[in-house]
Structure 1
Amino acid sequence: MHAILQGKRLIAFDLDGTLIDSVPDLAVAVQRTHSDLALPIPAQEQVCDWVGNGAQVLMERALTWALQRAPDQALKKAAYEAFMRHYGAAPNALTQLYPGVQTTLNALHQSGYFLALITNKPARFIAPILNHFELQSHFAYCIGGDSLAEKKPSPLPLLHVAHQLDIAPSASVMVGDSRHDIAAGRAAGFATVAVPYGYNHGEPIEHSQPDVLISSLPALVSG
């Protein structure tokens, strides 16, 4: 096991950009929403830079890009509802696991670590995605961006999960791809591990100064 896991009991993972490459499906949902609203259609690469703060912020960023100004509340509500409908209809059509995710989670689970999923994605999409990839049984606790009053970069979701599992933050690790994961982990007193391949608004994740930067998840179990 990687040295960062020494003395740890809980490993919390982000979902989008860390375990799964979900941008292709998110982009389709955004594009279909804009089509419904007769707005300019963004490219997948643009949507990638907007991911990370939950569906409402994703759509607000997309609308701001399309309008070249901040959208009003009525349009934000209509766009969010349309996005949720489109994404909910096919959240796994194009989404894929990143290499080594399945084997890494298997190894960590079998080694006795408690695994948790802490994502800013709406909670209703967690189970369909995990079940699709047969990952549900690995996680002792899952929490979405709308499960609590605050989401990452707030430390609240991480502290909530640690409390529910009766594990000290000092015995916990947050693994993610964005500055929000690292900020939440640091504020919660978790050790932080970053992967460089996900969605971080076009910024190198090392700028967030995680405790450890790994090239891929299998590095967690290969030492």
Structure 2
Amino acid sequence: MFDLDGTLIDSVPDLTVATDQMLVQLGRAPAGMDKVRNWVGNGAPMLVRRALADGFAEQHISAEQEAQALAIFMQVYGTGNSLTTLYPGALETLQSLKMLGVKLALITNKPEKFIPELLAEMQIAEYFEWVVGGDTLPQKKPDPAGLLWVMQQAGVTAEQCLFVGDSRNDVQAARSAGVACIAVTYGYNYGEPISAENPALVLEDLRELFL
């Protein structure tokens, strides 16, 4: 089971464009990529709230403010993924796992509506038998619901699974599901080193899975 943003793809450039255009349309200053990189990971609504708060005091943003901004964000982000790229080693890793007969699933907090086109553009759609978006189920990571659903669909136990992610949401979701978690160092973890979350293993490159 893989996370998507920050694990397989670097989507922050496109997320930054959408976030900044949203802020400008609301008469606010753009945030820039460095800030957005630290805000992503909890789904589009939370990203929008953090952008409006210009930080992690998102609890002060009203539901009305969120709804107005989210509508703008979703419209802009839905126009394309031209700046999003696969991380080095991501495609090779998926290819190798498929050749080994390993069943693969994707569990992301990205809204479901954006996933099919994005996976197609990245040319990785064919590798995943199950895909769970941030609004596919009532809960999103760090809740383990997505992992538990995939395990049920695949008919496997936690001991037969591995989750690969980049943030504390991934580590916590895997831990709650009883699944071992491997984390990559290059992703988005709110500006903190992922090693602090004590995953089972930390990798600098996905291809290290095979070492």
Instruction: Tell me the TM-score normalized by structure 2.
Output: 0.97
Q: Distance in 2 between matches of 1:190 and 1:79?
A: 36
Aligned residue for 1:79? 69
**SS of match in other structure, 1:112:** coil
Who is 1:176 aligned against?
165
Aligned-pair distance for 1:165? 1.1
RMSD, matched Cα: 1.1
Can you list the C-alpha shifts for 1:5-39, whole angstroms capped at 9, x where unaligned?
xxxxxxx0000000000000000000000111111
Q: Give the structure, 1 or 2, with the largest relative contact order (CA under 8 Å, sep 6 or more).
A: 1
What is the aligned partner in structure 1 of residue 125 from structure 2? Answer: 136
Count of matched residue positions in the alignment of Structure 1 and Structure 2: 209
Q: Which one of the candidate residues 91, 94, 98 is aligned to 2:87?
A: 98
Report the TM-score when normalising by structure 1. Answer: 0.91
Q: Which residue of 2 aligns with 1:53?
A: 42
> Among residues 109, 113, 129, which one is paired with 2:98 in the alignment?
109
Match of 1:4 in 2: none
Report % sequence identity.
Answer: 44
| Pairing 1:18–2:7 present | yes
What SS is found at the alignment partner of 1:150? coil
Equivalence for 1:89? 79
CA distance in 1, matches of 2:63, 2:75: 18
Question: 1:71 Cα shift?
Answer: 2.1
Tell me the CA shift for residue 216 of structure 1.
0.8
Note the alpha carbon deviations across 1:99-124, whole angstroms, 9 max, x for none.
01111100001101011000000011
2:53 is aligned with what amino acid? T
State which of 47, 63, 84 in structure 1 corresponds to 2:52: 63
1:98-157 CA-to-partner distances (Å, cap 9, x unmatched) read 001111100001101011000000011111111001111100100001000101001111
AA paired with 1:140?
Answer: E
Unmatched 5+ stretches in structure 2? none
Does 2:146 correspond to 1:157?
A: yes
Alignment-derived partner of residue 123 in structure 1: 112
